[in-house]
Structure 1
Amino acid sequence: MQERGMLIVLSGPSGVGKGTVRQAMLEGDYRDFQYSVSMTTRQMRPGEVDGVDYYFRTKAEFEADIAAGQMLEYAKYVDNYYGTPLKYVNQTLDSGRDVLLEIEVKGAMQVREKCPDGVFIFLTPPDLMELKNRLTGRGTDSAEVIEKRINQAKEEIQMMANYDYAVVNDEVPKAVQRIERIIESEHLRVPRVINRYKNMVN
């Protein structure tokens, strides 16, 4: 019987570097991850590709998927929807591959309710000033939006207690290494492997 893959949820404040860390994880040869591309109604940024960075949809299209029960999770963040298509995630886990979700904090809490056996990792900035510098350096948001994101980050950091692990993203290679060690350990937890050994002795 095929062992089900493990769901890995990576989230944290906007600007903390979730996308950069996720890309570094997927480009490495550590483990056979399958990245679950999220869906959003926000505008595409320069260099982004539909179906690679996000599935870019209209608000009406996104709300139709919500109504049809086709979202594992979704949240509205700074006036845009973000969410994870359900069918693709289940198919990939059932095939035995790990699925990596890079999602917003509110969405992660919905996933926690539906998938309590997932591994939930909160990516944190070294401090709020560094987070503001990163947001400003992106050059994609107005000062007003950046201020909204900083205030949102303060609220989200307080939700860290709902996660299994907290990883500081001070340097991307170090953050990736920390996350890889977490995943390796989680794959060895007895509740995840005990059925394999029960079958062995039977």
Structure 2
Amino acid sequence: MAILNKRLAKIVVGLILVITVINLFLLSSNSNNKNTVNHLNQLISSQKSSPKQQSDDNNKYGISIKLDDINLEDIGAKGVPLLSENKHNQNNSTVTEEYSAERHFNSIIENNKIIVFSKSYCPFSKGLKERLSKFEITPELKIIELDEEENGSELQDHVFKQTGRKTVPNLIIPASGLNSIGGFDDFKELNDEQIQKKLNSLCKDTCHLTLTV
């Protein structure tokens, strides 16, 4: 019995020693964390300190962090700065290019040979498109519905400046210049053969109309 009691006593003493060592380790770890937090707070509050002093402090604590990477508005509950993602997102984000009606118009006339500026609800635009639907047009007729364009109003103003016609429909053939070929009234008195002859002469081998109906 005496031997058993001695063994139990040794086990209890051993457990106490283990618990004591763990507590000491935890206290030491908390102390180190507190020192690190204090150092980061000192870095933030001393932005005007010399680069050499900041470098010495960083080396002392084994921390490599630049104040430029710290968003002072994003400070954690214990004073630990949270590295802001905003700066990186701004650097990587694509800047939205401002709309230019001139650039849009130039792109349209550079990539198409025969163009009608229209509005989907306009009866005169519908009338001209119906007349042109009787023809097989090569390359394909480009129809720009200004009311369906995000910046249609700005584009229409620029079309007016370039072609001299503010209303729709407005047919242009870049090969013959930027002046408007006409609207609905300019074609309503012409028969199909006359329209074909007129537009083919203005296309100058860049486009061609063939009557199909």
Common fold: TM-score over 0.5? no
Q: Which has the larger radius of gyration?
A: 2
TM-score, normalised to structure 1, is 0.28
Q: Looking at secondary structure, tell me which structure has more helix per residue.
A: 2
Q: Looking at secondary structure, tell me which structure has more strand per residue.
A: 1
Higher relative contact order (CA 8 A, sep 6+): 1
